[in-house]
Chain A
């Protein structure tokens, strides 16, 4: 699905070059839920943006669905959910979800059908005609997820989508996201800096560390795909969380 080998990315800044990614090798299979975790500056967001062709690597190879990321984008391979919901205040919720469909040139009838479909998927059926400011932060982020699902991309890339929300809302949305993943069978790339969130959601956890940004550990989760919230108290869960924490600490011991 997504393959990166020997991926390097160096930003030219005023203070000289900054190596954001060094020798990143990763395989993401279809249907995986992959979390990228690490302290700020570890390149987790940069890697996600590279998959989305928002950044151009300076070395190495990356393919998405066997294509160059730029081509993959044109083929609508992925939907991208940003840290902020980024809904247009002058459009209703339905209007916001319709936006990418308008841009991609879907017919009016198809737009309406798909908007209704994804609104139902994120439990916002009755909120289509509301404006963004009339919704809570969590609901806005759900609308943003619906928008990224509307054009049926196989891959969902999420950059700390719940980072700005409080923990109770976050737990709820994590649960919802797992259900959504089970229903749609999407491949999900998820950036976070919360260990419980990464362990709870993922089939694969990629631990990264900074300066230069690189992968220090890749953990295949033994947890079952069906996960109630209280799985977070199980010994398996705690064991994985421990391993992630160790990985993060090892990365930090560097400096």
Chain B
């Protein structure tokens, strides 16, 4: 029975993945076709039309359709515009399994650098978010003064503000993990504030009246009603927050330099036209994000189950 139930979702999931991979391979053909035709022409293969000039303004899809002979080559180039799935997988394998995790050529090393800054930033951001939310819910002055700034802070493009934070902190001698963690926290505190405020305010007037009939103090209302009521909201925001944290760290690694982290791998890949390296770093980032969200989901399930809410 379990096998049958598993098949029920396994097959559709597999079909979707297969469809994405097929689409990806197909997309590689027009993306890489011009370079493939140039190489083929040099080796004496007849392509149509002949000559780079003649092909310059032609649509890539049309060229791909007219030259099936070069298709195979579009999936094996060294510096393709769009690398094929197997190239990315091979690069991931090469930079994780075949080098020592402490090597600078290892994605595990760079992922660890990014992960440590992300976790530090997430802890700072989530902590700040929760504290701000508690303040906002309990003080009208804070509600009026903090919330607009929190919203304004998120309208500033992080790409614009990240280099400034790095430079300013650098001038005070702060380098390494901390500046990245601060930018990461800058992105992750916001969803936590919004979700937590909503959660802490989720008890209705009746719940609050009930507390009053027992002469409960504000602290008791907070610990026994508002905080537990906010748990489902908190976890939803933490999941968004941790993903934002990772984005923040990656963005911070672009100007931070230092030659470490997945953000740096993305940057160096684009300097040297190493598209395969860029895609491998992108996948490493996605896997890291999925892992972080999965961990929080696991904690969420456990906590809500123990609370009787799931």
Which of B120-128, B180-188, B212-220 is found at the contact surface with chain A? B212-220
- For A52, list chain B residues within 8 Å (CB): 213
Which of A2-10, A85-93, A212-220, A239-247 is found at the contact surface with chain B? A85-93
Assess whether B308 is in contact with A92, with CB atoms less than 8 Å apart.
yes
Assess whether B206 is in contact with A73, with CB atoms less than 8 Å apart.
no
Which of B72-80, B223-231, B251-259 is found at the contact surface with chain A? B223-231
The distance from the CB of B46 to the nearest CB of chain A, in whole angstroms, is 73
- For B212, list chain A residues within 8 Å (CB): 53-54, 73
Residue of A86, A91, A102, A103 near B206 (CB, 8 A) is A86
Which residue of the partner chain A has the closest CB to B211?
Answer: A103
The distance from the CB of A88 to the nearest CB of chain B, in whole angstroms, is 7
- For B307, list chain A residues within 8 Å (CB): 90
- For A139, list chain B residues within 8 Å (CB): none
Q: Assess whether A196 is interfacial by the CB under 8 Å rule.
A: no
Q: Assess whether B50 is interfacial by the CB under 8 Å rule.
A: no
The distance from the CB of A33 to the nearest CB of chain B, in whole angstroms, is 20
Assess whether A86 is in contact with B216, with CB atoms less than 8 Å apart.
no
Assess whether B308 is in contact with A86, with CB atoms less than 8 Å apart.
no
Q: Assess whether A26 is interfacial by the CB under 8 Å rule.
A: no
Assess whether B213 is in contact with A80, with CB atoms less than 8 Å apart.
yes
**Size class of the contact patch on chain A:** 20 to 34
The distance from the CB of B196 to the nearest CB of chain A, in whole angstroms, is 17
Which residue of the partner chain B has the closest CB to A49?
Answer: B209
- For B216, list chain A residues within 8 Å (CB): 103
The distance from the CB of B26 to the nearest CB of chain A, in whole angstroms, is 50
Interface of chain B residues 230 through 285 with chain A (CB within 8 A) = 231
Residue of B215, B224, B308, B309 near A99 (CB, 8 A) is B224
Assess whether B214 is in contact with A100, with CB atoms less than 8 Å apart.
yes
- For B225, list chain A residues within 8 Å (CB): 88
Interface of chain A residues 120 through 138 with chain B (CB within 8 A) = 131, 133
Q: Give bound CA distance, A133 to B207, whole Å.
A: 17
How does the 8 Å CB contact mask read for A69-89 relative to B, with 1 for contact and 0 for none?
A: 000011010111011101011
Given contacts A103-B216, A103-B220, contact A89 B210 (CB under 8 A): no
Assess whether B213 is in contact with A90, with CB atoms less than 8 Å apart.
no
- For A151, list chain B residues within 8 Å (CB): 214
Assess whether A91 is in contact with B308, with CB atoms less than 8 Å apart.
yes
- For A76, list chain B residues within 8 Å (CB): 215
Assess whether B210 is in contact with A90, with CB atoms less than 8 Å apart.
no
Q: Assess whether A104 is interfacial by the CB under 8 Å rule.
A: yes
Which residue of the partner chain B has the closest CB to A80?
Answer: B213
- For A103, list chain B residues within 8 Å (CB): 211, 214-216, 220, 224
Residue of B206, B220, B224, B309 near A82 (CB, 8 A) is B206
- For B214, list chain A residues within 8 Å (CB): 99-100, 103-104, 151
Assess whether B209 is in contact with A54, with CB atoms less than 8 Å apart.
yes
Interface of chain A residues 81 through 120 with chain B (CB within 8 A) = 82-84, 86, 88-92, 99-100, 102-104
Assess whether A73 is in contact with B209, with CB atoms less than 8 Å apart.
no
Which residue of the partner chain A has the closest CB to B307?
Answer: A90
Most buried by B among A54, A73, A90: A90
Given contacts A89-B308, A103-B224, A131-B308, contact A82 B209 (CB under 8 A): yes
> A residues within 8 Å of B by Cβ?
49, 52-54, 73-74, 76, 78-80, 82-84, 86, 88-92, 99-100, 102-104, 131, 133, 151
What 13 additional pairs, Cβ within 8 angstroms, besides A78-B213, A92-B308? Answer: A54-B212, A54-B213, A73-B212, A73-B213, A76-B215, A82-B206, A90-B229, A90-B231, A90-B308, A100-B214, A103-B216, A103-B224, A133-B308
**Which 9 pairs between the two chains have the least Cβ-Cβ distance?**
A90-B307, A131-B308, A80-B213, A100-B214, A103-B216, A103-B214, A90-B228, A103-B220, A82-B206
**A-B residue pairs in contact (CB < 8 Å), sample of 27:** A49-B209, A52-B213, A73-B212, A73-B215, A76-B215, A79-B213, A80-B209, A80-B210, A80-B213, A82-B206, A82-B210, A83-B206, A86-B206, A86-B207, A86-B210, A88-B225, A89-B308, A90-B228, A90-B229, A91-B308, A92-B308, A99-B214, A100-B214, A102-B224, A103-B224, A104-B215, A131-B308
